[in-house]
Amino acid sequence: MPRERDSYSLWFSMAVLLLVIGLYGFLHSPFFRVQYIQVNGSSYSPEQLAQIAGIEKGTSLLGLDTELAARRLEQEPIISRAIVYRYLPDTVYIQVEERTPIAMVPYESGFFGVAADGTVLGRLGDNAFNLPIITGADKNSILVGNKNISELVIAARILSGLPRGVRELISEVNVADRDCLKVISRSLVECHLGGPGSIQDKLDVVATLLPRLDSISSKTYTIVDVSNPKRPVVRKLP
């Protein structure tokens, strides 16, 4: 009886070992290798995204660290969010949300884009030069991918707080003096916001007044002081 039990245990152990070996071989077979990479929401090609994410064709799909790949993608300034999925047996799917420039900041002989969260994007092409210009930021700190330039964050917040139609009237946001932030329209209506406190209340007043003032033909320079949003003051310079 003990011999039969030992023999049964031996055969059972061998069967489990063969099963484990077979399963390991199946999971690491070419059947589960990355062959296809699909992308949605990105201006990058699948090959470019795969390179940034560190995903190589032919590697094990089941061994792919999707969270690490997503973190690598999100290090790109233009990519605000990335999710990487596995689709068995051989496909990686990458879903991306990209930042778009809401303004531009002068840099050397051109302009860098600035996203709505203040992130510095890459150099802009000629077709983007109709965006508002941010002036007054420290040029030495303007680097692609930088998210911590406070002046750009403030300027982006100002522009994001205005309706799109009003934002299109803006030519410049000046943040040189944080106690006197300025928004200047294309028709030279200059809005003084004061400091960044109660900024949305001030922007709501700007959104109401600026389209009206902008539509009035005038040869004089107009200043709108909304530092106290409850008592805006409009004056024209001679």
Please give the CATH number for the structural domain made up of 161-238: 3.40.50.11690
pTM value > 0.85: no
Cα 126 to Cα 21, 24, 104, 143, 155: the distances in Å are 59, 54, 12, 20, 22
Q: Is the pLDDT of residue 3 over 60?
A: no
Q: Give the CATH fold of the 33-98 domain.
A: Ubiquitin-like (UB roll) (3.10.20)
Give the C-alpha distances (Å, rounded to integers) separating 196 from 67, 135, 150, 204, 228: 37, 16, 11, 14, 12
Q: In the chain, list all ranges with CATH 3.40.50.11690.
A: 161-238
Share of the chain above pLDDT 70, in %: 84
pLDDT tens-digit map of 83-117: 999 988 889 999 999 999 999 999 887 899 999 99
Kindly state the tokens that stand for 54: 């560190």
Those residues with Cβ within 8 angstroms of residue 189's Cβ, 6 or more apart along the chain or in another chain: 210, 213, 214, 222, 223, 224
| Ranges of CATH 3.10.20.310 domains, the chain | 33-98
Residue 58 half-sphere exposure, CB side, CA atoms within 13 Å?
A: 0
pLDDT per residue as tens digits for the range 9-39: 555 555 555 455 555 555 555 667 889 999 9
pLDDT tens track for 137-188: 988 888 888 888 899 999 999 999 999 999 999 999 999 999 999 999 998 8
Residue pair 225/192 in contact (Cβ under 8 Å)? The answer is yes
Residue 205: what residue type? V
Count CA atoms within 13 Å of residue 24 on its CB side: 6
H-assigned helices in the chain: 2-27, 46-53, 66-74, 150-160, 164-167, 199-215
